[in-house]
Amino acid sequence: MVHSNSDFGCMMKRQHHIHLNQLINTESRLGGIFYWCQMKLTLENLKSMGAFTGRPVEREIEWQQGEDSFKATVFIRPMGYQTATSDIMAIGGKIDGIAGRIAASICDEDGKPVFTVPDITGDADPDRGPLDGQLTIALLLAIQEVNDLGKATSSPKKTNSGVS
């Protein structure tokens, strides 16, 4: 989202719904049509635009620890305020970025955090230690899936390198 010189402006792709009275003008940019709009920044306007992340999304995850396989239901908060603040703290070196992303995203069905960063890194309880690596990967993959971070691509075609 790009802010204009007005109090609150936004540039939105065509597929976003906006009210006609919010439309100022249209311009063509790189073959796509973008709408510039100006609106009053209110909770109701932001809600109608879908600017809030909403309820957590339920996902099933699976991981292995040694010989044992586990399956669990997790709830993932779509990226929003908690993730943004966690990312800023990670950039500033105040928290571990991956642990911050997991702590900001994994929650219960009501949206309350399940982990703190120290729970994940092992600092909360040194006897318990950090979160298992395979579980960490399973959680990150579920977070990626919920937030559609990058599209899955097909596997690269195998080539014969001539080495046997």
Q: 162: alpha, beta or left, given left = phi > 0 and alpha = psi -120 to 50?
A: left
User: pLDDT tens digits for 71-124?
Assistant: 999 999 998 888 889 989 999 999 989 999 999 999 999 999 999 999 999 999
Cα separation, 100 vs 91, in Å, equals 11
Amino acid residing at 115: F
- Give me the domains of the chain, ranges plus CATH numbers: 9-49 (no CATH), 57-147 (3.30.2220)
Q: Tell me, what's the pLDDT at 39?
A: 75
What proportions of the chain, in percent to the nearest 5, are helix, strand and coil? Answer: 30, 25, 45
CA 141 to chain centre: 11
For the ranges 90-94, 100-104, 143-147, 160-164, the lowest mean pLDDT is seen at: 160-164
Whether the per-residue pLDDT at 9 is higher than 50: the answer is no
Return the DSSP state at 14.
Answer: T
Q: Tell me, what's the pLDDT at 152?
A: 52
139 or 12, greater pLDDT: 139
Residue 101: Cβ-neighbour burial (10 angstroms; 0-12, 13-18, 19+): buried
163 or 59, greater pLDDT: 59
Cα separation, 159 vs 66, in Å, equals 33
